[in-house]
Amino acid sequence: MNHFTFTRRAACLAALALAAPLSLLAQAFPSKNISLVVPNPPGGLVDTSARLVAEPLARVIGQAVVVDNKPGASGNLAYQTVARSAKDGHTLLVSYSGYHIANPILMDKLPWELKDLTPVGLITVATNVIAVHPSVPANNLKDFIAWVKANPGKVNYASQGNGSVSHIGTEIFKQQTGVDMTHVPYKGSGQAIADVLAGQVQVFITTPPSVMQHVQGGKLKALAVTGKTRHPQMPQVPTVAEAGLPGFSLESWVALYAPAGTPAPVLQKLSADVKRSIELPETKQRADQAGIEVRYLPPADMTRLLERETAEWTKAIKAANVKMD
CA distances from 98 to 20, 160, 322 (A): 40, 11, 14
**Pair 168, 102: CB distance under 8 Å:** yes
Tell me: pLDDT of 103 over 60.
yes
pLDDT value at residue 43: 86
**CA 301/CA 307 separation, integer angstroms:** 10
244 has pLDDT over 90: yes
**Residue 250 binned pLDDT confidence (cut-offs 50, 70, 90):** very high
Per the CB < 8 A criterion, the answer to whether 74 and 88 are in contact is no
pLDDT digits (tens, 9 = 90+) for 123-156: 999 999 999 999 999 999 999 999 999 999 999 9
pLDDT recorded at residue 288: 85
Q: Give the pLDDT band of residue 209 (cuts 50, 70, 90).
A: confident
pLDDT at 168 over 70: yes
How crowded is residue 181: how many other Cβ atoms within 10 Å of its Cβ? 21
- Decide: 112 and 95 in contact? Cβ < 8 Å: no
Q: Convert the pLDDT of each residue in 47-95 to its tens digit.
A: 999 999 999 999 999 999 999 999 999 999 999 999 999 999 999 999 9
pLDDT beyond 60 at 15: no
What's the DSSP call for residue 194? H
Q: What is the rounded average pLDDT of the residues 113-122? A: 98
Q: Looking at the whole model, is its pTM more than 0.95?
A: no
Contact 122, 308 (CB under 8 A): no
What angle do the packed helices 281-290 and 44-61 form, to 10 degrees?
170
- Tell me the mean pLDDT in the region 193-208: 95
Dihedral sign from CA coordinates of 225, 229, 235, 237: positive
Question: Which is higher by pLDDT, 103 or 15?
Answer: 103
Length of the chain as a residue count: 325
Candidates 91, 96, 42; CA nearest to 270 is 91
Question: Distances in Å between the alpha carbon of 283 and those of 56, 57, 100, 274, 287?
Answer: 7, 10, 25, 11, 6
Average pLDDT, the chain: 91
DSSP 8-state class, residue 114:
G
Closest CA to 259 of 141, 131, 66, 114: 114
For residues 159 and 170, what is the distance between their CA atoms, to the nearest angstrom? 8
Q: What's the rounded Cα separation, in Å, for the pair 315 and 325? A: 19
Q: What is the pLDDT of residue 20?
A: 46
What amino acid is encoded at 174 in this protein?
K
